[in-house]
Structure 1
Amino acid sequence: MNLRHLEYFAVLAEELHFRRSAERLGITQAPLSLAIQSLETELGARLFHRTRRTVSLTEAGLSLFDDVRGVLARLEMAKENVWQTVSGQVGRLRVGFTNASSLSPFFPRLIHAYRTSRPGVQIVLRELSSLQQIEALDTRELDVGLLRLPPEMPAPAQDLVLAPLLEEPLLLAVHAGHRLAKKRTVCIADLRGEPFIAYPRQAGVALFSQTLALCEKRGFTPDIVQEAQQASTLIGLTATGLGVALVPASLRAISVPGVVFRELSDSDTTATLYIAHRRGDANSRAVQFAELAQTVQ
């Protein structure tokens, strides 16, 4: 059944006048008449009573009109749903974030701002390491990620659009009774020979690679005596005096008795948070989220 013929039928059923219907449709009366005749032939039923002066619906026409109005209404709703999906108004957005980034005041402001501007979009938040996010973006298990870049970029990262969002200094987390706790600032070279608490290498946390690179640049390899999967565990273990840890400044929000944070005087001890999404991705929600992230302070 020709959809255009149904649209012509619906307009004529409302106007009950061929000239007005044709003007409303932006066509002449001839194609309108041909469309109605074709529809009647296909259905095997007369849809309109026609006289020289009047046009009215037959019983079959009345029955069809009820159905056609529903079909056209559902079609318009389908068009609207597609437009909302394409424009990023509805759908699902899978956002990856690191454990440390969730502790930054930036993170809740960004999520709240997006949920306010796109209430029809379902946000699915996944806590993953930076390397895990890069892999998940490559396999399309994530739409957008909030991550830090490791010194050695994995191959999938080459296919990502990356924009810096937030640069924060690294701090030294140390037991309050440690000799370095007495100093206002510390340099990486001061950490030679110190036991370290760090994320596991296999966890894919960019900070592990950065810690390793910073120490090796000063001519030593950090002595990692204890590993911790979570930022809160890392700070908690520092309170035991087992070792020191390099952490983003946002982890200062984790207040644990016995732990103090000291600034680093080295110029290369900063950590940058990036927003990442696939290059050329047709998912407008990911692009809109990334654009919003760059405006949130």
Structure 2
Amino acid sequence: MNIRYLQYFVVLAEEQHYQRAAERLGIEQSPLSRAIKALEAELRVKLFHRTSKGTRITPVGAAFVDDARRILSAVDQGWRTLKNEDVFTEPLRISLADTTLGLANARLSAWLAQVREAFPQADLRLTEQSYNEALRDVRAGQADAAIVQGGLSNGADLVSAPLWHDPIVAVLPRAHELAELAVVGLEAFMRHPLIDCSPASEAASSSVVHERFARLGGELITGEYASTVLGMVALVAAGFGLGFAGQLQMQVLRHPDLVVRPFDDPELVFTTSLVYRNDGTGAGLAELLAWCGDAEQSLPV
């Protein structure tokens, strides 16, 4: 489709008069008329009725005006992009792994907002995936990086750059005896059945708690398994066991039958990391990593 003909069509649709439209466009009426006829022939529709009383747009022409404006706007944006020397030449593809469990938490949203502000011309493409899928795509080169929770031991072929730490909290039924405490001791917590992460998941999140249990010499009592924080919340509320999650996660997941309490162990935290391949990075990811190292980020607690 000839973009110039589309511009002529929009101006004529606004003026409803060939002479005025031609004057706006700075051309004679004849080339305007020929352009409209050529556009009608290409689209196989009648866009205008031209009578002795003047020019009147057809119903199909009127319906097409907004679409034509959108096409012209997209073309204009495309030209501006091509002329911008600062624009990223390749997209920056980041997977958001479901191990951040509660992707709507304030810290992740603030971090992404700061990335958008720092790199306004970046073609940033985000995809929410499972933990396994996210790391698979990073390894395959289909994603430049992944944001994962507990991402510090994902294999020698990947590098993990910690972004922030999220204190782990106890998720308890409101009527449970531990719910009366302001702070929950881990030894007291581990005496009760636990809603643990599903064994089908390879996520590293639950290993933080498991390793802490093992260090205390205690055995894990598994009540049930859950694949998501939402599933854990439902099972804890139903009384099948106690749960654990990141403090930021539970700020957006509230339940009337649950209470959240901090643990007495300050080292019990989830680490959210940016994971990428160790065999070199593209220009976009390199700039992002440099920004992560240099920027003084004021993220919400």
TM band (smaller chain): 0.5 to 0.7
Name the SS for the 1:91 alignment partner.
Answer: coil
Whole-Å separation in 1 of the counterparts to 2:221 and 2:269: 21
CA distance 1:214–1:285, change in 2 (3 Å): same
Whole-Å separation in 2 of the counterparts to 1:82 and 1:196: 58
The alpha-carbon deviation at position 242 of structure 1 amounts to 1.2
Equivalent pairs counted in the alignment come to 214
Counterpart AA for 2:245? V
Whole-Å separation in 1 of the counterparts to 2:240 and 2:230: 15
Counterpart AA for 1:255? R
Aligned residue in 1 for 2:187: 189
Aligned residue in 2 for 1:140: 141
The alpha-carbon deviation at position 265 of structure 1 amounts to 0.6
The alpha-carbon deviation at position 134 of structure 1 amounts to 3.3
Q: Deviations over 1:207-230 (max 9, x none)?
A: 222222121222222222222222
**Conserved in 1, the CA contact under 8 Å of 2:151 and 2:271?**
no
Name the SS for the 2:103 alignment partner.
Answer: helix
Q: Deviations over 1:25-50 (max 9, x none)?
A: xxxxxxxxxxxxxxxxxxxxxxxxxx
Q: Map of 1:104-123 to 2, 5 A cutoff?
A: 104-116=105-117, 117-123=119-125
Query: Which stretches in structure 1 are left out of the alignment for 5+ residues?
Result: 1-76
The alpha-carbon deviation at position 115 of structure 1 amounts to 3.4
CA RMSD of aligned residues (A): 2.8
Q: Map of 1:1-297 to 2, 5 A cutoff?
A: 89-97=88-96, 98-100=99-101, 102-116=103-117, 117-129=119-131, 132-149=133-150, 153-155=153-155, 158-253=156-251, 254-293=253-292, 295=295, 296=297, 297=299
CA distance 1:282–1:182, change in 2 (3 Å): closer
**Conserved in 2, the CA contact under 8 Å of 1:90 and 1:122?**
no
**Conserved in 1, the CA contact under 8 Å of 2:190 and 2:218?**
yes
How many percent of aligned residue pairs carry the same amino acid? Answer: 15
**Conserved in 2, the CA contact under 8 Å of 1:172 and 1:245?**
yes
The alpha-carbon deviation at position 202 of structure 1 amounts to 2.2
**Conserved in 1, the CA contact under 8 Å of 2:100 and 2:149?**
no
Q: Which has the larger radius of gyration?
A: 1
Whole-Å separation in 2 of the counterparts to 1:231 and 1:114: 26
The alpha-carbon deviation at position 83 of structure 1 amounts to 9.7
CA distance 1:115–1:189, change in 2 (3 Å): same
**Conserved in 2, the CA contact under 8 Å of 1:91 and 1:122?**
no
Q: Deviations over 1:206-265 (max 9, x none)?
A: 222222212122222222222222222212222112111121111222111111111111
CA distance 1:199–1:92, change in 2 (3 Å): same
Counterpart AA for 2:143? L
Counterpart AA for 1:257? P
The alpha-carbon deviation at position 197 of structure 1 amounts to 0.8
Whole-Å separation in 2 of the counterparts to 1:160 and 1:110: 22
**Conserved in 2, the CA contact under 8 Å of 1:166 and 1:274?**
yes
Query: Which stretches in structure 2 are left out of the alignment for 5+ residues?
Result: 1-77
**Conserved in 1, the CA contact under 8 Å of 2:167 and 2:247?**
yes
CA distance 1:225–1:91, change in 2 (3 Å): same
Whole-Å separation in 2 of the counterparts to 1:101 and 1:165: 16
CA distance 1:183–1:136, change in 2 (3 Å): same
Counterpart AA for 1:244? L
Whole-Å separation in 1 of the counterparts to 2:162 and 2:292: 10
**Conserved in 2, the CA contact under 8 Å of 1:248 and 1:271?**
yes
Whole-Å separation in 2 of the counterparts to 1:150 and 1:119: 28
**Conserved in 1, the CA contact under 8 Å of 2:168 and 2:247?**
yes
Moved more, 118-127 or 218-227: 118-127
CA distance 1:134–1:99, change in 2 (3 Å): same
Q: TM-score, normalised by structure 2?
A: 0.62
Q: TM-score, normalised by structure 1?
A: 0.63
Counterpart AA for 1:241? G
The alpha-carbon deviation at position 88 of structure 1 amounts to 6.3
Name the SS for the 1:103 alignment partner.
Answer: coil
